[in-house]
Amino acid sequence: MCRLHQRVLLTVAVAILASFPLAAEPEKPSTEPARSAYASAAALQNREAWDLASEEWTSLIELFPNDPLAAKARYYLGICELKLNKIDRARAAFAAAIKAGGDETTLGDARWELGRSTFLEAESGKRELYAAAATALEDFIAKHPQHSHISDALYFDGESLWQSDKKEKAIEVWSGMIQKSPQASRLPDALYSLGVGLAELKKPKEASAALSRHAREFPEHRLAFDVAMWRADLAVEAGLPADALKLLEPLLKIEPERRADVLLRLGQARFAAGQHALAAEAFEQVARDYSGSQFASQAAMSAATSQLEAKQPEKARPWLEGLIKTEGPHQLDAAHLLSTLELDAGAPAKAIAAIDAVMPKAKGLPIEPRLMIDRADAIWEIPDRRAEALVAYESFLTAYPLSPLLQQALSMAALGQLEMKKPELAIERADTFLKQFASDKLAVDVGRIRAEAVFAKGDCQGAVTAYASLSAAHPAAPQRSTWMLRQAAALVTFKQWKEAHEVLVQAIPGLTGD
């Protein structure tokens, strides 16, 4: 199951551009021409004639670079460039204002705007500027701790650090802002970023606490929907699917354009709660109603998986067949599940066909070994093709000696060699298995295959020992009586009548049927 929503980052459209009132002229003496140019530029800016004002501020700076008004002119030039969405030129103007010096208010505003505009430019696609944004914002924070935009700066700094891959530091910044500025307008944004950041850093308890606080204190916030989605994900991960369901079901009535996303999570929560049939309904709705969306393939695969878990293979089959035909990202996984379904239904030929339909596309991919075993297993179920299946298992042992499916291939190779009346090779494969995978769930079956191979080889005493060892090692195994019968048969072969009788007496209570 995949995660489908992303972090919410700020954009230029929601940036703080509220208003930039022009300060009075500085008290230091200024020339009359400079004052006249300042008044002209200010009048244009107050009328929001940003391009004309920009030209006037540029002219003032060029004509009177050392006038006391030039410092403010550089700052206001930056504001005009921001309004014109010329962020790189705005940054240059703010940097020049800082370098030129000036009164504390102008320097504070210039440092703030430099940090903010650098962040905005990074947000516009120049990701390499996030580090510069963090540096500029931290310079502002350090030098102007009482500035009216200090909480905004802390929030942007956290975002910049996160995007610069300094995630732990970003968490520290957001946490500090939340503690120090509980009344800040950015508090809900910071709580959201903190919660999502902690979730992505695999700190689910802390993430849940931050997001739950957001939900309590800001239930009508623009991020409330996303907060609920994240909280639902965290609840499922924490093994609390019932909590996730309570969060998700009301979301189906909100934001219709995100209904598919909610349904997918609803399916995941139901699946985690063991409600497999209901989970399938949610996934099927996405696959049907949003067939052209990015979610469709995943939804179809999840629907099939849920139906299989609900013991409804016939409802899973159409979804799997459709996924194989569409050649999407889940085509190969669907072929694996469909082959298993067909094999369980007693249709090995159909299982083989499902694998053969996709096998060329699996070449070199991680799923190729899985499909090879699936195909071999299906061939094995056709009695007159077992020699072919054995070749497939043996080929697998050579091609994938480190595969996690090696034990399955080894066990079937041992069985195949026994059936092909090659007991020495069967013993060799069984010994390899038992040496490497003694604690595997297949070890008991492989032990039985080995014992039978020893018997088939004519080593009756060895077979007696092998079967006796199996019975002693697994006294509660349902096959124990059968092993004891085979042990008795081996004893009879070399006329150990008394011992055979004693073993049969022990075996009889566990036998059933006629």
pLDDT at 18: 36
CA distance 95 to 38: 20
Residues 215-235, mean pLDDT to the nearest whole number? 97
Q: Which residue type occupies 161?
A: L
**What's the whole-number mean pLDDT along residues 16-33?**
58
pLDDT at 494 (0 to 100): 81
Measure the CA–CA gap between 26 and 227, rounded to whole angstroms.
Answer: 48
Mean of the per-residue pLDDT values for the chain? 92
Calculate what percentage of the chain has a pLDDT beyond 90: 83
pTM for this predicted structure: 0.79
Confidence of residue 10 (pLDDT cuts 50, 70, 90): very low
Are 204 and 238 in contact by the 8 Å Cβ rule? The answer is yes
* Residue 221 to residue 399: CA distance in whole angstroms: 57
Q: Is the pLDDT of residue 9 over 50?
A: no
The answer for residues whose C-beta is within 8 angstroms of residue 498's C-beta and 6 or more apart is: none
Give the residue-averaged pLDDT of 45-52. Answer: 96
Which whole number is the average pLDDT over 401-422?
97
- The DSSP-derived string for 112-126 is HHHHHHHHHHHHTT-
Give me the pLDDT at residue 13, please: 30
Band the pLDDT of 513: cuts 50, 70, 90. Answer: low
pLDDT reported for residue 101: 87
Q: Which domains does the chain have, with CATH numbers?
A: 1-21+28-185 (1.25.40.10), 382-454 (1.25.40.10), 458-514 (no CATH)
The answer on pLDDT for 21 being more than 80 is no
Average pLDDT for residues 204-209, to the nearest whole number? 97
Q: 61-74: string of b/e by CB count within 10 Å (b at 16+)?
A: beebeebbbbbbbb
pLDDT tens for residues 82-136?
A: 999 999 999 999 999 999 988 899 999 999 999 999 999 999 999 999 999 999 9
pLDDT on residue 508: 85
pLDDT above 60 for 154: yes
Contact call for residues 82 and 117 (beta carbons, < 8 A): yes
What is the mean pLDDT of the segment spanning 278-305?
Answer: 96
pLDDT over threshold 50, residue 19:
no
Residue 265 contacts residue 244 (beta carbons within 8 Å):
yes
Reading the block at residue 255, the tokens are 């934001």
DSSP secondary structure string, 296-335?
Answer: HHHHHHHHHHHHHHTT-HHHHHHHHHHHHHHT-TTHHHHH
Q: Which of 29-38, 167-176, 379-388, 495-504 has the lowest mean pLDDT?
A: 495-504
Cβ 235 vs Cβ 248: under 8 Å: no
Structure tokens that stand for 353 in this block = 């066909």
176, 170 Cβ separation under 8 angstroms? no
pLDDT of 307 higher than 90 = yes
Give 22's pLDDT tier (boundaries 50, 70, 90): low
